[in-house]
Amino acid sequence: EAFKSKKQVVTSNIELVATYGAQLIRTARENDVAYLFEASVGGGIPIIRPLNNCLVANEIHEIMGILNGTTNYILTQMIQTGQSFERALSDAQQKGYAERDPMADIEGIDTCRKIAILSALCYGRQIDSDTIPTQGISNIDLQDVFYSEKNGYTIKLIGRSKKVDGNVYVKVSPLLLPKKHPLAGVEDVFNAILVRASATGDLMFYGKGAGKMPTASAVVADCINIIKYGNLGMPVWENGGVVSRCNCDNIKYYIRVKSEDKADTKEQINSLFAKAVWLDTQENDVAFITDKDDENNILDNIQKLRSLIGNDNVKATYQVED
């Protein structure tokens, strides 16, 4: 109705843009008005406009990022102070970093919607966020944090997207990043987005991803942009995006299981993951990193492992980044 009344619209509503972006953009264009939403991803970090304008001469190979400040704060506390997930979440709520109902944050739903927006912007097609494989951080244990850190990795909740054979591979999950990775050092409530582009190479966007002032900065910037340029340069995408289930790159996984008989469990694991790299573990834990393989093969073998040793004994399965 606002568009039909020739009203310009600026929003920070993530769910609205992720779900109805293509439809709203089309309606705004039909009525010759602007629909801008810089604040919907990254808070005060400029990312929508750079992707839409500054990098338009590039083909975006991949985009990945820490897109939720709440989960990044929780993981930072777990890593740096040894707090449990539950205690770190409570701390985040007390400081106002997490909502009373934190489900959208901790289960990756917020990150999922944001990577859906960035995917649509980069690849031109609306991505249904409900079709994006999404895993949050609520099941991350301090043991996983400890083993990751001990072996040169840090755990981050990552939203990532890349073009694969005409479709878009999109995923949200905890990822073990090597310490040298540009996103590994991003801590507390800060967000960061890594863009891999054809001409410019790797670009990093970093800053406060939430809060009154950062969000207000992005909203006001959109308002000023409309005053200056109207709807010129407005982001545009269409419906019809398809999420690919194939990464098309061989990857590795970190897997942790509980075992009363480590020798027997390792033998069963070796039958599925012949080149597993074993990690030093405590008590009844068995943890390892798989050899590189097609992601679907790894996921199939994880299901077979669950059948062999019991679903409840498979405690963690997270992708490992090189």
Please indicate whether residue 150 is annotated as part of the active site.
no
In tens digits, the chain (322 residues) has pLDDT values of 899 999 999 999 999 999 999 999 999 999 999 999 999 999 889 999 999 999 999 999 999 999 999 999 999 999 999 999 999 999 999 998 999 999 999 999 999 999 999 999 999 999 999 999 999 999 999 999 999 999 999 999 999 999 887 788 999 999 999 999 999 999 999 999 999 999 999 999 999 887 889 999 999 999 999 999 999 989 999 998 888 877 778 899 999 999 999 999 999 999 999 999 999 998 899 999 999 999 999 999 999 999 999 999 999 999 999 8
Counts of helices then strands in the chain (DSSP H, E): 10, 12
Are 191 and 68 spatial neighbours (Cβ–Cβ below 8 Å)? yes
Cα separation, 93 vs 313, in Å, equals 31
**Domain map of the chain by residue range?**
60-207, 252-320
**Domain 252-320 in the same topology as domain 60-207:** no
Q: Which fold has domain 252-320?
A: Alpha-Beta Plaits (3.30.70)
Q: Residue 67: its pLDDT value, please?
A: 97
Catalytic residue, candidates 6, 95, 114, 179: 114
Provide the CATH topology of domain 60-207.
Answer: Dihydrodipicolinate Reductase; domain 2 (3.30.360)
Q: What is the DSSP string of 7-30?
A: --EE---HHHHHHHHHHHHHHHHH
